[in-house]
Chain A
Amino acid sequence: MSFDLENLVSDLDIRGAVLYYKGNVDSDTITKALDLVEKKLFATREAPRLRKKVYNVLVESLQNLYHHSDKVPRGYHAARPDRFGLVVMEKIGRGYRITTCNFVAAVRVKELEEKLTRINRSTPEEIKEQYKDILNHQEITEKGLGGLGLLDIARKTGHRIDFRFKKYDNLNTAFRLTAVVAQV
């Protein structure tokens, strides 16, 4: 069987997910996904604090796909080669788990892995200081601010960010990122 991004989430409950989407991620897709999730969070009467955290983390997760997905490998089926990704949001216990998958160029894997490892090794106070430092000193680019989205996810969830890579070919790697927002 040929590789599909779905292979990276075979351990997740896609059928029971609050949100599942695979395809090109444009601004309209993000708006619709956020609207759908917000309605569901209101319908299930989640506490405002949890609802807001989940919404915030979902915004950053989806916009990470929008800004940072590299083109899909040649031969991989996608309507368009750019901004292609997958998102699963599941209810787990009293919180939510948000998982995104996308392709990254193989040359970017080391840098991304180092960035995430550094975040996971940092204390909440260090994450806060790193966030403020980037916010205050780094220029914004078309792709946003380097790593601020990941720091924001780490800060809002208070958990380590789970990530894994799977080599697709010599030029492309599939990347999975998972954040858990727990009831506080």
Chain B
Amino acid sequence: MEPIIIEGTPKTPSIKFDTQDGVFEIKGRSIPENSVEFYKPLNEWLDQYMQTPLDKTVVNIRLEYFNTSSSKCILDVFKRLEAIHRSKHDVEINWFYEEDDEDMLEAGEDYDSIIKVPFKMIEIVE
């Protein structure tokens, strides 16, 4: 399956979901005015990936900032990962947050309580 690779901008994260090298990552800032438009290609890619996923999918979320409009789109990504997990495939979400960034930690905990997928909180110590 062709990977999806999107370069980051000051308002949108870089995205790399690549089945060849097993990298699934969203990184940077996600604060666009129209998040639905931005995340549409990723969710479409995941819809296809869900048909024949890898035995294990590890997704790294390394966000510095995200707005409330992105929060729903990120949840949509996680719901697709949850569906893969439900279909008896291993899925793991690593939620990275910077030291002392309690807001980002809490945001990860919110998702963890909504999504039934193994969720790991990883503190980045500078």
Contact = CB atoms under 8 A, between A and B. Distances in A.
Interface of A: 27, 30-31, 34-35, 48-49, 52-53, 55-56, 59-60, 63, 66-67, 128, 131-132, 135-136, 138, 140, 144-145, 148-149, 151-152, 156
Contact of A149 (B10, B65, B68, B114): B68
Given A31-B11, A48-B98, A135-B75, A144 B68 contact: yes
A59 to B, nearest CB: 5
A69 B10 CA distance: 24
Contacts of B101: 48-49, 52
Report the 9 A-B pairs with minimum CB-CB distance, sorted nearest first: A148-B68, A140-B72, A144-B69, A152-B68, A149-B68, A27-B33, A136-B114, A59-B31, A49-B100
Q: Which of B33, B101, B102, B114 has the largest count of A CB atoms less than 10 A from its CB?
A: B33
29 contacts: A27-B32, A31-B11, A35-B10, A52-B65, A52-B101, A52-B103, A53-B103, A55-B65, A59-B67, A63-B31, A63-B67, A63-B68, A67-B69, A131-B110, A132-B110, A132-B113, A132-B114, A136-B114, A138-B72, A140-B72, A140-B73, A145-B71, A145-B72, A148-B68, A148-B71, A149-B67, A149-B68, A151-B68, A152-B68
Contacts of A49: 100-102
B23 interface: no
A144 B33 CA distance: 9
B75 A136 contact: yes
A63 B70 CA distance: 12
The secondary-structure label for the interface of chain B is helix
A111 to B, nearest CB: 18
Nearest to B103: A156
Contacts of A52: 65, 101, 103
Contacts, number: 66
A52 B79 CA distance: 27
Contacts of B73: 140
B58 interface: no
Given A60-B67, A135-B75, 16 more contacts: A30-B33, A31-B10, A48-B100, A49-B102, A52-B65, A52-B103, A59-B31, A63-B31, A63-B69, A128-B106, A132-B113, A135-B110, A135-B114, A140-B35, A144-B69, A156-B103
Nearest to A144: B69
Nearest to B113: A132
B5 to A, nearest CB: 23
